[in-house]
Amino acid sequence: MTETLLVSNVILWCLVIALVVIVIALARQVGLLHERISPAGALMPINGPKVGELTEAMDLTGLNGEPVRVGGVCPEGRTTLLLWISPTCPVCKALVPTARSLATHEQFRLVFASDGGKPEIHRAYVRKLGIEKYPYVLSQVLGVTFAVGKLPFAALIGTDGILKSKGLVNTREHLESLVESMETGIQSLQDYVHLAESTSDRRLAEKA
């Protein structure tokens, strides 16, 4: 009986040790995979206004009847973060806090937009998200102008009216990548990674 228990304990400890080794190996592989994956920025569509172009000033009406200007030179002297959301978009709800945080930290003028629908539904949506203090416009023309095909979609317009960056933003990282693109002058993080790889290859070639 004692020998049986001893053998069982030995087998159990062997299994535990093997499991620990497997977990460590998997953790190492995950770390290596993470290092190899290039950062993914917002997916930028080819249609609509191009980054670097002057945007057209559009005088729109907010959800509560207030005038809201989008595009062109900003009268408030701030960069505009324009974010398209919708009550039927589950990802949008999760992204709103990030947009609010970025607007506060970067001192952006945050404007929410949607293609349309019943105003009362959007008003309830605004109250639920706690974004009453931000402009919210319902405009199909605005969505068409910026070639918005899927949500959530965002655009950064400089104080001079120049489109700094734009793209489909499904995650916090995607939204933050628009700010990175604006600050670096590179249209997207994909372009940044390509440029970094090209620079690295050129330096290796010069050393050879």
* pLDDT score at 174: 93
* CATH fit for domain 58-194, picks 3.90.1300.10, 3.40.30.10, 3.40.50.300, 3.50.50.100: 3.40.30.10
d(CA 100, CA 118) in angstroms, rounded, equals 24
**Domain locations in the chain?**
58-194
Please tell me whether the overall predicted TM-score, pTM, comes out greater than 0.75 for this model: no
Peptide bond into 90 cis (omega under 30): no
Q: What is the tens place of the pLDDT at every residue in 164-189?
A: 999 999 999 999 999 988 888 775 54
Using DSSP bridges, classify how beta strands 153-157 and 80-84 pair: parallel, antiparallel or unpaired. Answer: antiparallel
Q: What are phi and psi of 45, to 5 degrees?
A: -75, 160
Lowest-pLDDT range of 30-39, 71-80, 89-98, 138-147 = 30-39
The residues near 79 (Cβ < 8 Å, ≥ 6 apart) are 106, 108, 109, 156, 157, 158, 159, 164, 182
Q: What are phi and psi of 74, to 5 degrees?
A: -75, 120
Instruction: Supply the DSSP symbol for 125.
Output: H
